[in-house]
Structure 1
């Protein structure tokens, strides 16, 4: 980096560092071999699951191991669990993958595993069938918002947000998403991911007949922060006019 003085390591320090890296690589390759051997043998045990946790912690981009982890759940562990146990296990995996995302927010396979977890949340106890699902999907939306607070241009997080909003058992009003995207745009006008999300919401409202497209184009109001000398784009209107008739 510019302005940062580099420290030249001694020959002894370089040799020690190289040896340490060689040990780490050897351990990683041995762990990989152990996990793939268990996968080939159809091992669905808790021991195999723990090994996948170790390997994915070292390399969360190893999609083959994510697939194996899910097979362990469906073919082994879940077969001996109650619905409550399954919900608890899935919540543990959601917590694990959130930890991974903080370090590797643009690894697709982490987001993909979260999808799988949410889609396998069982029905809740009698009298509250959607209880666990509503709780987990609501928490997932908050997780995505934390990720977008950390990086408002993370296109994987925006795509995943659309998936969450579409999949929630109890849908959020689309006007909420207009407010959310406006907040992101006000923070950074060149956030094209937020603009894209906003345009998709308007398109949805137009298609449902909840928004008068022609009227909105002609009468789109400027937000308070918009420069007086510049007209808002007619392609992406800023005001929401819901039909009442």
Structure 2
């Protein structure tokens, strides 16, 4: 970097650092070999379990060792343990995975192990509340994943995990609360594709169950996504959500209205690739679904408009030139 003073290390300092790195590598390889030997010998002892902890803290991507850790629990420790100890161990592993996820939030195997822990929490602790431990863990987990999303609101692993938690809870929060949560995340960052995706899942479920009016909520979301378009017309996630709201394109007045709205944005942003692509997509939907209500002249005008936009797209997006040429050929077929 400019204007940053470069630190010059002496030969002795560099040699000492090299020696430390070599010692750490040697220790890691010795631990690695020891744990894999224990696995090979089907060692399901507490000592073997502790060894997996040490190794996974150094390298959390060793999915084979995560599998081995679970085998130690189910085959070696759990069968001879009281439910309270099983619950305690699983909670310790939830703490371990939370600590590791803060450092490595996108390692799939850590998320997988966390799911496994939750799914193996035993019933307890009282007859009055036979699922007491399970209920407490699932409720706590929603707060945990919110912390993860506060740290990185676009972490799709965390969003997938959030869907899993909500689907697994006996008494999840109402879906309208989840809809409000996605609104908060989207308004904080319109580029949050995962939040838009979660919103589509929640809305579709609410519509299917008749819990909110589809027409009015869809209209409200057209307004939300329109604001996002004008804020950042180059953000792909916004246009993908808009296409989802349009759906199969059976509503001709809606298609015409949205095309006009996007055209107004294109007039302001004449090089907007996503504006052009969306207009082409929606005009093709009109041609495909509503040709019978159009005159020959109207159909030809739509084809001509699409063809002209595709030629422009070839120039401004040359990496996808062949795709646009193919789309243009389809129009003429």
Output the TM-score relative to the length of structure 1. Answer: 0.88
Whole-angstrom CA distance in 2 between matches of 1:151 and 1:218: 29
Question: 2:195 — aligned with what?
Answer: 194
Instruction: Map Cα deviations across residues 88-124 of structure 1 (whole Å, 9 max, x no partner).
Output: 1110110111111111111111111000000001112
Please report how far the alpha carbon of residue 37 of structure 1 lies from its aligned counterpart in structure 2 after TM superposition. Answer: 0.6
Please report how far the alpha carbon of residue 205 of structure 1 lies from its aligned counterpart in structure 2 after TM superposition. Answer: 1.4
Q: Spell out the pairing of 1:18-167 with structure 2 (5 A cutoff).
A: 18-124=18-124, 125-167=126-168
Please report how far the alpha carbon of residue 3 of structure 1 lies from its aligned counterpart in structure 2 after TM superposition. Answer: 4.9
Whole-angstrom CA distance in 2 between matches of 1:2 and 1:190: 31
Whole-angstrom CA distance in 2 between matches of 1:185 and 1:50: 42
Please report how far the alpha carbon of residue 217 of structure 1 lies from its aligned counterpart in structure 2 after TM superposition. Answer: 3.1
Please report how far the alpha carbon of residue 215 of structure 1 lies from its aligned counterpart in structure 2 after TM superposition. Answer: 4.4
Please report how far the alpha carbon of residue 219 of structure 1 lies from its aligned counterpart in structure 2 after TM superposition. Answer: 6.0
Change (3 A) 1:89 1:213: same
Whole-angstrom CA distance in 1 between matches of 2:157 and 2:3: 33
Quick check: which has more Rg, 1 or 2? Answer: 2
Please report how far the alpha carbon of residue 20 of structure 1 lies from its aligned counterpart in structure 2 after TM superposition. Answer: 0.9
Output the TM-score relative to the length of structure 2. Answer: 0.66
SS of 1:76's partner is helix
Instruction: Report if the CA contact (8 A) 2:175-2:202 is conserved.
Output: yes
Whole-angstrom CA distance in 1 between matches of 2:217 and 2:2: 49
Please report how far the alpha carbon of residue 221 of structure 1 lies from its aligned counterpart in structure 2 after TM superposition. Answer: 7.9
Change (3 A) 1:235 1:211: farther
Whole-angstrom CA distance in 2 between matches of 1:234 and 1:217: 12
SS of 1:139's partner is helix
Instruction: Report if the CA contact (8 A) 2:90-2:121 is conserved.
Output: yes
Instruction: Report if the CA contact (8 A) 1:148-1:157 is conserved.
Output: yes
Change (3 A) 1:10 1:219: closer
Instruction: Report if the CA contact (8 A) 2:222-2:245 is conserved.
Output: no
RMSD (Å) for aligned C-alpha atoms: 2.3
Gaps of 5+ in 2: 232-237, 247-333
Whole-angstrom CA distance in 1 between matches of 2:168 and 2:46: 30
Q: Are positions 1:213 and 2:214 aligned together?
A: yes
Instruction: Map Cα deviations across residues 160-182 of structure 1 (whole Å, 9 max, x no partner).
Output: 11111111121221011011111
Whole-angstrom CA distance in 2 between matches of 1:12 and 1:29: 26
Whole-angstrom CA distance in 2 between matches of 1:59 and 1:220: 43
Please report how far the alpha carbon of residue 6 of structure 1 lies from its aligned counterpart in structure 2 after TM superposition. Answer: 2.7
Instruction: Map Cα deviations across residues 203-234 of structure 1 (whole Å, 9 max, x no partner).
Output: 111222323334433465856xx58x89x958
More helix by share: 2
SS of 2:154's partner is coil
Please report how far the alpha carbon of residue 190 of structure 1 lies from its aligned counterpart in structure 2 after TM superposition. Answer: 1.4
Change (3 A) 1:4 1:64: farther
Instruction: Report if the CA contact (8 A) 1:217-1:235 is conserved.
Output: no
Gaps of 5+ in 1: 238-245
Q: Are positions 1:175 and 2:167 aligned together?
A: no
